[in-house]
Amino acid sequence: MARTTRRKFLQVTATTGVGFWVAAGNRVALSRSAIERPNVACIGVGGKGGSDANNAARFGNVIAMCDADRSRVESKGKQEGFQEAEQFIDYREMFDKHGENIDLATISSPDHVHGVQTLDAMRLGIACYTQKPLTRTIYEARLLAQVAAETGVATQMGNQGTALDSSREAIAQLQSGVLGELKEVYAWSNRPVWAQGPGRRMTMERFAEQAKQENPEQAEQIVARRKQEIDRALETLDWEVWLGIAPYREYWPGLYHPFQWRGWWDFGSGALGDMACHQLTVPFVACDLRDPISVVARTSGHDFDSFPASSVIKFEYAETSERPAITFWWYDRLGNRPPQEVFSKWGIENVSNSGVLVVGDRGAFYSSDDYCGRYELKGVEKVEVEYEKAENQGNMDVNNMYELFRALAAGDPKIAHSNFVDRAGPLTETILLGNLAVWAASQGGEDGSLGDWGELVQWDAKNLKVTNLASLTTPGVAELIKPKIPEGYRLD
């Protein structure tokens, strides 16, 4: 079926409420008919990508899927719901062949290729479920929101906490003014649970030198075994496809694929990018944490290649018509969190390993999990509020995916709470700005402790510019805002 035909079919049936989509009160319910369900393509089907693909397969027909690791896509193809899907290594080949017939795509690849993959899909008119953080760089986040608005496609970021009734209620509570005048926001995370820190890149040349120094008699055999291990891995992993738009570097077992990529500047966005999209689900909306005016950080030290093992970041926001000037503090690494007196003031003694605290002049909001799914108000009582409850399909991950299918069905992108235009794009921009401060704070303390405050980065959110760039001594700050795109990929 041609894409124009499918699109007309979706629009007509969404309006009439028959066939493809069925009216259900003031909701839009999805048809159970396999013939009438939307066609889905999945980019990245291992790890979180596997569960995203599973969730999408509940509501659509998976007709194609790809993964740079052939073993992963082949394994997925043996599972129920995926046996008829055509398998690809490169998403560009998948879109070239099936783009006209795909209605919705899941993008669950490493951060550095989210942007180009999602942009290609949206420009084909495909609805997108893109994992958090939406992109690796600030410019890409802005561009994805712009293209989503221009194309009108339905979009959703994979920060599943937005589909929790508790987080939606929490937003309504804070927006009611129950805490009084807002003062500060804190978030702390037990991440990273992957390796970060300087001096970790490995090459065959470096490995061979180490082997000669540590075990000169067996060095040749050690190097040969490692080369065999790499060759075996590259039999199924297309390393150049995996690298995508990133600068070339040698593949090394366990350093990047399948999980450790989060700790590298070229591929991931560190603990901040990974977890703040979840933890700011409530305060970003309720406290209007868009468009910081400056950021500054302390870190345990990094080498501009791997993220630091730990950091503290301070975001400053100007006064708005809705709230006074406010500060947001971020802490990462297990045990690295705000001073205890910040909590003790509100009777919080056994502080969670990850959480959020919003402080007002009358009370405080405390969440003890990653998604603001559990929360308490301290010093004040809850007030009666109204909010839109999620349609429960089993759990927050499934609900978040289902919301995108509902948005596609109704032809209304705003049904998806974490759509790129209204929330996911601006949220990702805000979070990634913190990494500019981390970059400008490369000097750590002794024995892995936090060093002094790095250089202050002043920010013009409207124009995506560092306003004090000329005075910064740290190189490369501006290059973190927008990636360089090699031939064969498209950004603008």
Residues 290 and 189 grouped into a single domain: yes
Q: Which residue has the tokens 């929790």?
A: 164
pLDDT score recorded for residue 20: 43
Across the range 228-232, mean pLDDT stands at 98
Across the range 92-110, mean pLDDT stands at 98
- pLDDT tens sequence across 412-465: 999 999 999 999 999 999 999 999 999 999 999 999 999 999 999 999 999 999
pLDDT score recorded for residue 32: 60
Residues 14 and 131 grouped into a single domain: yes
Across the range 253-257, mean pLDDT stands at 97
Residues 156 and 236 grouped into a single domain: no
Q: Is residue 336 part of a domain?
A: yes
pLDDT score recorded for residue 31: 59
- pLDDT tens sequence across 55-78: 999 999 999 999 999 999 999 999
Residues 115 and 48 grouped into a single domain: yes
Q: Is residue 374 part of a domain?
A: yes
Cα torsion 210, 216, 221, 225 to 10°: value is -20
Share the mean pLDDT of the chain. Answer: 94
Residues 229 and 273 grouped into a single domain: no
Question: Alpha-carbon distance 415 to 402, whole Å?
Answer: 10
Q: Is residue 145 part of a domain?
A: yes
Question: Alpha-carbon distance 445 to 436, whole Å?
Answer: 19
Residues 336 and 471 grouped into a single domain: yes
Q: What CATH number is given to the structural domain containing 131?
A: 3.40.50.720
pLDDT score recorded for residue 36: 82
- pLDDT tens sequence across 20-56: 444 444 456 665 665 589 999 999 999 999 999 999 9
Residues 236 and 91 grouped into a single domain: no
Residues 73 and 209 grouped into a single domain: no
Residues 298 and 373 grouped into a single domain: yes
Residues 311 and 247 grouped into a single domain: no
With 70 as the cut, is the pLDDT of residue 9 above it?
A: no
pLDDT score recorded for residue 6: 56
Judge contact between 441 and 311, C-beta under 8 A: yes
Q: Is residue 492 part of a domain?
A: no
- pLDDT tens sequence across 167-217: 999 999 999 999 999 999 999 999 999 999 999 999 999 999 999 999 999
Across the range 104-132, mean pLDDT stands at 98
Residues 323 and 350 grouped into a single domain: yes
Collect all residues with Cβ–Cβ distance below 8 Å to 75 and sequence separation of at least 6.
Answer: none
Number of domains in the chain: 3
Residues 184 and 245 grouped into a single domain: no
Q: Is residue 488 part of a domain?
A: no
Q: Is residue 96 part of a domain?
A: yes
Q: Is residue 487 part of a domain?
A: no
With 50 as the cut, is the pLDDT of residue 116 above it?
A: yes
Which residue range(s) make up the domain with 236?
A: 204-254
Instruction: Please give the share of the chain, as a percent, with pLDDT higher than 90.
Output: 92
Q: Is residue 17 part of a domain?
A: yes
pLDDT score recorded for residue 17: 42
* Residue 258, preceding peptide bond in cis (omega within 30° of 0): yes
* Residue (of 303, 325, 304, 322) closest to 314 by Cα position: 325
Residue 302 corresponds to which tokens in the numbers above? 């990094």
Helix axes 3-16, 396-410, angle to 10 degrees: 100
Q: What CATH number is given to the structural domain containing 468?
A: 3.30.360
